[in-house]
Structure 1
Amino acid sequence: MFRTTKTSLTALAVALATPAVMAVPAQAQDAAEQPAPLENLVEQVAIPYDQFQLDNGLTVIVHEDRKAPIVGVAVWYNVGSKDEPKGETGFAHLFEHLMFNGSENAPDDFFKYLQEMGATDYNGTTDFDRTNYFETVPTGALERALWLESDRMGYLLGAITQEKLDNQRGVVQNEKRQGDNQPGGLVFYEIIKTLYPEGHPYDHNVIGSMADLDAATMSTVQNWFRDNYGPNNATLVLAGDISAAEARPLVEKYFGPIARGPVNDPAQADVPVLKENVRTVMKDQVAATSIDKYYSVPGITDRDLTALNVGAQILGGLSSSRLDNALVRDEQIAISVNAGNYAFQRVGILDIGATAKPGVDPAVVEKRLNEIIADFIKNGPTEDEVRRAATSSLAGTIRGLEEVGGFGGKAVTLAEGEVLAGDPGFFERQMNILATLTPGDVKAAMQKWMTRPAMTLVLEPGEREGEYEEAASVAAADDATDAAPAANEITVTKVRPAPEISQLTALDFPDVTETALPNGIKVYYAQRDAVPATRVTISFDAGSAADPIDKRGLEGLTLGLMDEGTTSLNSRELAEAQERLGANISTGGGVDRSTFTLSSLSANLEPSLELLADVVRNPAFDPAEIERVRTQTVTSIQQSLKSPSGLAYYVASPLVYGADNPYGGSGTVESVGSLTRDDLVNFKQTWLRPDNATVFVVSNLPLADVMPDLEEAFGNWAAPATPKGQKDFSSLAAAPESARIVLVNRPNSPQSFIVGGEITPYSASDETIVDLTNANNALGGNFLARLNMNLRETKGWSYGVRGGPSINEGAVAYFVQAPVQADRTGDALAEIIKEVGEFVTTRGVTDEELTRNVNNEIRQLPGQFETSSAVLGAMQNNVKYGRPMDYYETLADKYRGQTVESLDAAARKAISPDRFVWVVVGDAEKVRPQLDKLGLPIETIEVE
């Protein structure tokens, strides 16, 4: 549930008959050359705000946005891992966990109180530079949210017990194990160690070391809180259905009495310079060799920030980047490239990399990578490259401003500017720089920072070398209750009753208009005017379930080729056209649908729709592109089987659904390798056609303005004479007579990944399936569910456990998944089996769980549909499952009608723990003896 941000650099080192032709109208090309000017786009990026400060130093920022009855609440503390002294690494992140474990007047897990309010988008994250907590709540619950946040700011210490400290220490250590267990999971440690010398504030990973976490005591933890979490070291942002005048008395009431604390003067840090180039080679369970170059660069307030961001995009971030064009498209010696500037407060890391195509000498890729970087540094970008990068960046920012809270909404934008740059409007300065950036600016920044010594890290396939850092005692959680009883008692220094939750506004789902194009394609339209953007999805009743059993992966490869070139635009030209318009065309849809989604600036909708139509109607299926994308797809399949979760579901799916069921497998190296161009053309002709299509639109523009562009793009598209495809789900596997375990040996794994599954008798259209999903909220559906609370919050053996129904059109299965520390694999599986078994027999849904989950489901409805993308997804689900378009407005009454008995009946109908197939991915030498004690049949599989 918790996330440590800015450690995603780890993933960057791992790679992961002829169709009918529609000519692209000439005006599309003209319009694509004349997108909305950057200056006009910048004017649309606005977050007006009011700012004030309480007497105790708390900075408060309020942004008013009345589009929905919700408020995004964000509390940012000016402390992160760079502020940790030697011997206390990981404390900022550990405290993030502890501050979710209850305060003096709210002593239970904070997720309980958040769910009572119907909060959405809630979490907490720790970075090198700050710690933050956020939630989006219904307006009527805002006062309760302010009470909750203020209680953990001012009245936390009395609620921190030795038991909680020991438990959360174990949870964090399992979070570390979970990250380390991923392919490439040890890379970021090496990057930090190389770029930042010992004693530098950024010289250690945010999650810290096992030894320092082991050494954390109650006194050191309490001192850490007193020193860093005072109101004068915090910023509170409220964004949404609230004004500054309304906010101020509430903030004064709840935060005003909290005393000031010491002032945290964030650690200063220079940008270190390596004495010479460093080259490191590592091995891990990856499918292909990756080469990354890391440069030390300045932090977010440096004048070169925007130029470095744009330069990285042009080099390897855009779809049309120089590295993509040279290494992936033209020379075809790499399967993927990457580039990004990861700016922290004081310093940053610029990463430029490529993943070698299997069979190609990585040294050749590295040589060409260096040559292209050197040429870019010497000669700089073109004006067109800078404009495309800037437009793409601005378009993404505009679309992101629709959300008031969450990980990247308006509250986060204002808070980040204030805490890290001393200016809530910092983003406006950056946008203005972006709009006027020149090729000379980018060239100068690159020459300044990328001519210094750099680190080259090569990650090769192979067995990891060295040992994992492990905790002093992985069984420490067992001793949590051995402390003196007083150490586990909560002390309340000041009684602060919780305010009542006021009247909440019911969900008002946007009105949906149904119409049709001249050729009969149905169009569903909803208007949302929060941002000047339009989202269009054309959905086909296909998905991976349409794959023939002997040609699994066909749908995925077909979709992958369709946005890699049309009969009029090659893949590079198509990418460039999208970037000039600030548009994004993505493919996907899942197992039941194949979708093409356009995210467009409304000012550029007409040419953007024409691009979408060209992609959907006129794929080239160029033979050279087919082989390139095939290689990428095969490598992606191989890489997925290197990860514990990918391997677990690869094994579990055919066991649960049946190997011959459309849901019972996915593309393999062999099946994807056998596909021909004719297979791709036939799939498109059979499934991706107008008589199998539905269009969904969410836009700030009125329908009357959108329909002419849709008609021009898709209205004259005729269906082929051949019949459209039909899916067959008749081969669904029967439930086994008894449970069993399949152990997949993955040596040297610090964690095991457990997946359990079974087919249920439910169908996707069953009206009582809403009873099953809410019953599951008590068992596995959210943070407070029994499985997670047992294995994470009580035992401390896992970073998070979840379970729930997988609802597809042709089958509904139930799955449980749990990453657990290796030495507790058997114990953890025993606990899961016990919890599931008791839930459907002797210990069903309680009255407290019923009340909490019903209230949560009803109260969070308005927040769930804050964004256009959420509305777009809901519209598609309604059509897929045959529901009316006001379905989500009817849910509140369905929840109110639920009882303990109805939820128990739904769970008992669906879940039979004695028929589960359990797949365990882990180190068989360590795990098999533990599993033998469970008394279930065990089959061991060796990974080839």
Structure 2
Amino acid sequence: MLRTTKTSLTALAVALAAPAFIAAPAHAQDAAAQEVAPLEDLVDQVAIPYEEFQLENGLTVIVHEDRKAPIVGVAVWYNVGSKDEPKGQTGFAHLFEHLMFNGSENAPNDYFQYLQEMGATDYNGTTNFDRTNYFQTVPTGAIERALWLESDRMGYLLGAVTQEKLDNQRGVVQNEKRQGDNQPGGLVFYEIIKTLYPEGHPYDHNVIGSMADLDAASMQDVRDWFTNKYGPNNATLVLAGDISAEEARPLAEKYFGDIARGPVNNPAQAEVPQLKEDVRKIMQDQVAATQISKYWSVPGITSEDLTALSVGASILGGLASSRLDNILVRDEQLAVGVSAGNYAFQRVGILNLGATVKPGVDPEVVETRLNEIIAQYIAEGPTEDEVRRAATADLAGTIRGLEQVGGFGGKAVTLAQGKVLAGDPGFFDRQLEVLASLTPADVQAAMQKWMTKPSMTLVLQPGERTGEYEEAASVAADTDEGDAEPASNEITVTKVRPAPEISALAELDFPDVTQATLSNGITVHYAQRDAVPVTRVALSFDAGSAADPVDMRGLEGMTLALMDEGTTSLTSQEIAEAKERLGAVIYSGGGSDRSSFTLTAMSANLSPSLDLMTDIVRNPAFNQSELERVRTQTITGIQQSLKSPAGIASYVATPLIYGENNPYGGSATEESVSSITRDDLIEFKQTWLRPDNAEIFVVSDMALADVMPELEAAFGNWQAPATAKGTKTFGSLAARPESARVVLVNRPNSPQSFILGGLMTDTDPADPKIIDLYNANNALGGNFLARLNMNLRESKGWSYGVRGGPRVNENTVAYYVQAPVQADRTGDALAELIREVGEFVTTSGVTDEELTRIVNAEIRELPGQYETSGAVLGAMQSNVLYGRPMTYQETLADKYRAQTRESLDAAARAAIDPDQFTWVIVGDAEQVGPQLEALGLPVETIEVE
């Protein structure tokens, strides 16, 4: 359950934040010293009671009952991952995960179709070194359909796997590999694995595998893999949510009980390998600043050292208050970012820490200091306060995650992970007990034991990429080998298993929203949710990046960022420590139209958490030294974003579509951020981040009567300054092109091209009928089953994923399509995108089948969409932004039922004109340019600067 991560520099870019100025109440000054709930008390609040049983065929079933909403999280975990792959079949566990979504004997269509029919949310499948899993959250009335679907692919898959499907998914996976490789630093992990794990070690290859092995995967391999790895006695089924063990047992027997046992996969054993001596490697890639990283091979999740190593990494470089942050980033300002994490797998783990060098600083100096700090930390050990803060921050994250029954990190995943990887569904509980009792001596001992062993240091420098891409060979139509049975594209059914009916489904019960007012006039919108002991508070200002002057883009983001970097009473270090001590998260952001501060607090610590939030919002110091540090971080982040294909495409396309003088039409640049002064920050705060421009949104397990006094103490006496409140100016949009155009941005040596197309629509963001455009787009580009994705991914295998959809702001609606595609198919892919969009808005609109599927899905997904308090909080803010009533979500089902093919077609045709698209393509111009010539569109080629 322990996670130690930090946002990397590549994500820093323009995602900065927002706040406000003026004297705060006296108690806010003492936020860092407030008494907090003991860690042991917080641990006692975490409980996932479950029942476990086993079918005669060996399938393990675990059930957790949670009646908070009419939904059930369904997770099936198979005890097989990439570490179990034989030589010559790397990547096959992951390839097979893809095939498991391509239909079974009684459900032969794409599985996403069946998932949408059920109204599933939070659905996906993943593969890692140790396991393969499939999960979805479904309405209670669809639980039998979900179990039928999962059991059909567990027991009756092979008759539906055809050569055509194998070849297609092979291409999709190879494009997934290209997409990852094409990112800055995309080849680094291959080098890490190769160095830490010797050839023949189960963890000696990347999960996605090699192109050559994927090319060689045959139909016989598929048959063997399914037969040997996917039996019920090698699987665990977890049901979490609106179901009891008494209800679950007969259903599990009904759908899984007749599946025959298979061989049991005994997961590959693996020692923790150790380097004989320190290894230092240098690589180059398209990065904005040098990155120095260190790696140690450490034990896996069942190790007694797991918790100590994870907490130790947090203290060293994972927390915002970490030692590396405090020394390298804040005090000595040698780095613009640091990170640390203990990434534990079943048998082994990787302990990693690193720093991104501040531009202009000698990387050798940073590397020397990095090693000195590590050595000092190991020698001295952490303090008691550091250990408590790290443990509290981790526990608070666990509690927040357990609000979900399913998804990537909810209760079902927690129970399944413990059972499959540690042999105990309650493994999380044991780990939390260790966390609550951890001592500095425990952490120091673990660090001394493992971090004094030889390590790998990898220096990633800006420059031409080191290493070459591995490319796929041409795949023959039939890759069967030897005397294996000839491949067939016919589906055979070995046992007919009719799909059960979907029972009556509950309508969405969106929580009642109560409106109240603070004594200074700030409106409070409140809703109660009691699934977890957490309170979420959003303080929202009518500002956003649209409030930036055109010649000073990034001002809002810089202002928000600086507000968290020191107040008149607390330093940035003290703020970070106070958050961790409280288990609180306070972040700023909000997007184009709003600037907001959002607090997520343990309800037991709400009062001191609000004190801290109040101090940040009302008393920022805007210290000049902090301004210069954040400025450097921001500029480096901007430079890094312009190294990624998606970042380049967005930077080029945005002003072409909106107009460079429109508030939505630009991005922060090095020049604009460099021009911002401390006075600009103060003026922005005084103008925009003020009580007469604010609203508060709250979702809590606490009653409104208990929350209001806390909000009143924090914000009720906050008075607006005498200066005028800000007003936004929305100038004219960019002139729309008379015909579609293409801008090719040359990015040499790119195995993929990134296609981004967009146009401005005449759609009114506040028009209630905008949902017709949303659902029309669900047929064209809005989800996995939409035409664009099904064509370029599922039919042709040229892309890992294609999406399109409206980008809605308070004052505009644009329409975008994005498609990363293999480089040698760029021209063909663009031609297909243009054809699909053109036909959709002229001759081939929404079909009856699409209408039924989309409307049913939207209605049935509603309870799952608003399962969490965070989702409710976001919906409340959106309702205010677009002038909708707080009952809006409960009216959606009837609105969807009233939709017709004609209403959806009309919305799409009014919004989307294929002749007004601007297509930006980021790729290797030498390879892509000739492909575009045949399209007959004007092409402008530009170089990346």
Same fold by TM-score, threshold 0.5 exceeded? Answer: yes
1:392 partnered with 2:393: yes
CA contact (8 A) 1:11 1:184 kept: no
Aligned-pair distance for 1:479?
A: 11
What SS is found at the alignment partner of 1:494?
coil
Which amino acid is the alignment partner of residue 882 of structure 2?
Answer: Y
Pick which of 723-732 and 817-826 moved more. 723-732
With CA pairs under 8 Å and 6+ residues apart, which has the higher RCO, 1 or 2? 2
Q: In the TM superposition, what whole-angstrom CA distance separates every residue of 1:861-887 from its partner, at most 9, and x where no partner exists?
A: 000000000000000000000000010
| Offset, 1:924 | 0.2
- How has the CA–CA distance of structure 1 residues 479 and 417 changed in structure 2, closer, same or farther, with 3 Å as cutoff? closer
2:826 alignment partner AA: T
Equivalent in the alignment of 1:156:
157
What's 2:659 paired with?
A: 658
Name the residue aligned to 1:463: 464
Match of 1:505 in 2: 506
Q: Is the 8 A contact 2:122 2:137 kept in 1?
A: yes
Alpha-carbon distance between aligned partners in 2 of 1:19 and 1:498, rounded to the nearest angstrom: 57
How far, CA to CA, are the matches of 2:786 and 2:486 in structure 1? 27
After superposition, the C-alpha distances for 1:215-249 in whole angstroms (9 at most, x for unaligned) are 00000111011000000000000000000000010
Return the offset for 1:69.
0.2
Shift of 1:29: 2.7
Matched, 1:740 2:769: no
1:12 Cα deviation from its structure 2 partner: 8.2
8 Å contact 1:14–1:286 — kept in the other structure? no
Does the aligned pair in 2 maintain the 1:791–1:801 contact within 8 Å? Answer: yes
Distance in 2 between residues matched to 1:691 and 1:29, nearest whole Å: 26
Equivalences for residues 24-423 of structure 1 within 5 A = 25-26=26-27, 29=30, 32-423=33-424
Match of 1:790 in 2: 791
Q: Does the 8 Å contact 1:183/1:286 carry over to 2?
A: yes
| CA pair 24-196 structure 1, distance change in 2 beyond 3 A | farther
CA distance in 2, matches of 1:7, 1:168: 33
SS of aligned partner of 1:756: strand
Give the Cα–Cα distance (whole angstroms) in 2 for the partners of residues 887 and 29 of structure 1.
Answer: 40
Q: Mind listing any 5+ residue stretches in structure 2 that lack a counterpart?
A: 14-18
Q: Which residue number corresponds to residue 573 of structure 1? A: 574
What secondary structure, in the 3-state scheme, does the structure 2 residue paired with 1:487 have?
Answer: coil
Identical pairs, percent:
78
Instruction: Name the structure 1 match of 2:876.
Output: 875
Cα drift, residue 476 of structure 1? 6.3
1:763 matches 2:773: no
Paired AA for residue 712 in structure 1: A
- Aligned AA for 2:540? S
Q: What is the CA–CA distance in structure 2 between the aligned matches of 1:388 and 1:705, rounded to whole Å?
A: 27
Q: 8 Å contact 1:14–1:290 — kept in the other structure? A: no
- Deviation of 1:25 after TM superposition, in Å, equals 2.7
Who is 1:702 aligned against? 703
Q: Partners of 2:4 and 2:86 in 1: how far apart? A: 20
SS of the residue aligned with 1:860? helix
Cα distance change of structure 1 residues 7 and 446 upon mapping to structure 2, 3 Å threshold: closer
Post-superposition shift, 1:485? Answer: 9.8
Contact in 1 for aligned 2:163/2:487 (Cα 8 Å): no
* Per-residue Cα deviation, 1:420-447 (whole angstroms, up to 9, x for no partner): 0000000000000000000000000000
Distance 1:504 1:21 in 2: 51
- The whole-number CA distance in structure 1 between the counterparts of 2:421 and 2:390 is 25
Deviation per residue, 1:485-516 (Å, 9 max, x gap): 96100010000000000000000000000111
Amino acid at match of 1:369: L
1:910-929 map, 5 Å: 910-929=911-930
Are 1:117 and 1:501, in contact at CA under 8 Å, matched by a contact in 2?
Answer: yes
The one-letter code sitting in structure 1 at the alignment partner of 2:877 is Q
1:449 matched to 2:450: yes
For the 8 Å contact 2:53–2:60, the answer to whether it is kept is: yes
Q: Residues 325-379 of structure 1: CA distance to partner in whole angstroms, max 9, x if unpaired? A: 0000000010000000000000000001100000000111101000000011111
Distance 1:170 1:9 in 2: 33
| CA distance 1:697–1:30, shift in 2 (3 Å) | closer
* Residues in 1 aligned to 2:280 and 2:29: alpha-carbon distance in whole angstroms: 48
- In 2, Cα distance between the equivalents of 1:204 and 1:13? 25
Contact 1:553 1:671 (8 Å CA) reproduced: yes
Deviation at 1:465, TM superposition (A): 2.5
Aligned partner of 2:843: which letter?
T
Quote the Cα distance in structure 2 between the aligned partners of 1:895 and 1:400. Answer: 31
Task: Report SS of the residue matched to 2:920.
Answer: strand
Residue in 2 that maps onto 1:808 = 809
Q: Higher mean Cα deviation, 459-468 or 924-933?
A: 459-468
CA distance in 1, matches of 2:175, 2:777: 24
Name the amino acid aligned to 1:565. G
Question: Which amino acid counterpart does residue 660 of structure 2 have in structure 1?
Answer: A
Residue 526 (str. 1) matches residue 527 (str. 2): yes
Q: Give the structure-2-normalised TM-score.
A: 0.97
Judge conservation of contact 2:216–2:479 (CA < 8 Å) in 1: no
Q: CA deviation at 1:478?
A: 12
Shift of 1:477: 8.3
Q: Write out per-residue CA displacement over residues 172-192 of structure 1, whole angstroms, 9 at most, x where no aligned residue.
A: 000000000000000000000
CA–CA separation in structure 2 for the residues paired with 1:287 and 1:53: 53
Contact kept in structure 1, 2:102 and 2:108, CA below 8 Å: yes
For residues 291-327 of structure 1, what are the alpha-carbon distances to aligned partners after superposition, in whole Å with 9 as ceiling and x for unaligned?
Answer: 0000000000000000000000000011100000000
Q: Give the CA RMSD over aligned residues.
A: 1.8
Residues 520 and 200 of structure 1: CA distance in aligned 2, closer, same or farther (over 3 Å): same
Is contact 1:509-1:889 (8 Å) kept?
A: yes
Instruction: Give the 5 Å matches for 1:586-597.
Output: 586-597=587-598
Gaps of 5+ in 1: 1-5
Q: Equivalents in 2 of 1:7, 1:147: separation in Å?
A: 37
Q: Structure 1, residues 781-821: CA drift from partner, whole Å, max 9, x if none?
A: 00000000000000000000000000101110000000000
Alignment of 1:585-624 (within 5 A): 585-624=586-625
The C-alpha deviation readout for 1:710-743, integer Å capped at 9, x for no partner, is 0000000000111111112232123211100000
Residue aligned with 1:424, SS: coil
- 1:67 partner SS: coil
Question: What SS does the corresponding residue of 1:388 show, helix, strand or coil?
Answer: helix
Corresponding residue of 2:863? 862
> Does the Cα contact within 8 Å between 2:231 and 2:263 map onto a contact in 1?
yes
Is the CA contact 1:319–1:575 (under 8 Å) kept in the aligned structure 2?
A: yes
Aligned to 2:16: none
Answer yes or no: is 1:711 the counterpart of 2:712.
Answer: yes
Equivalent position SS for 2:831? helix
Distance in 2 (CA, whole Å) between partners of 1:852 and 1:28 is: 55
SS of 1:134's equivalent in the other structure is: strand
Cα deviation code 1:148-176 (max 9, x no counterpart): 00000000000000000000000000000
Whether 1:833 aligns to 2:824 is: no
Residues in 1 aligned to 2:733 and 2:565: alpha-carbon distance in whole angstroms: 35
- Per the alignment, residue 438 of structure 2 pairs with 437
- Matched residue, 2:548: 547
1:280–1:457 Cα contact (<8 Å) kept: yes
What is the rounded CA distance, in whole Å, between the counterparts of 2:285 and 2:26 in structure 1? 50
> Aligned equivalents of 1:485 and 1:355: distance in 2?
54
Q: Find the aligned partners of 1:435 and 1:534 in 2 and give their Cα distance.
A: 22
Change (3 A) 1:27 1:721: closer
Structure 1 distance, partners of 2:147, 2:652, is: 46
Report deviation, 1:31.
7.8
> Residue 723 of structure 1 aligns with which residue?
724
The 1:791/1:338 distance shift into structure 2, 3 A limit, reads: same
Q: Quick check: 2:27–2:611 contact (8 Å CA) kept in 1?
A: no
- Code of the aligned partner of 2:457: T
The answer to whether the 8 Å contact 1:559/1:588 transfers is: yes
- Hey, what's the Cα distance between the residues in 2 that align with 1:24 and 1:243? 49
Contact 1:182 1:643 in 2 (8 A): yes
Distance 1:684 1:496, change over 3 A: same
CA contact (8 A) 1:758 1:915 kept: yes
Give the match for residue 3 of structure 1. none
Shift of 1:611: 0.6
TM-score normalised to the size of structure 1? 0.97
Q: Distance in 1 between matches of 2:392 and 2:453?
A: 29
Residue 763 of structure 1: CA displacement?
1.4
Task: Say whether the 8 Å CA contact 2:29–2:569 is kept in structure 1.
Answer: no
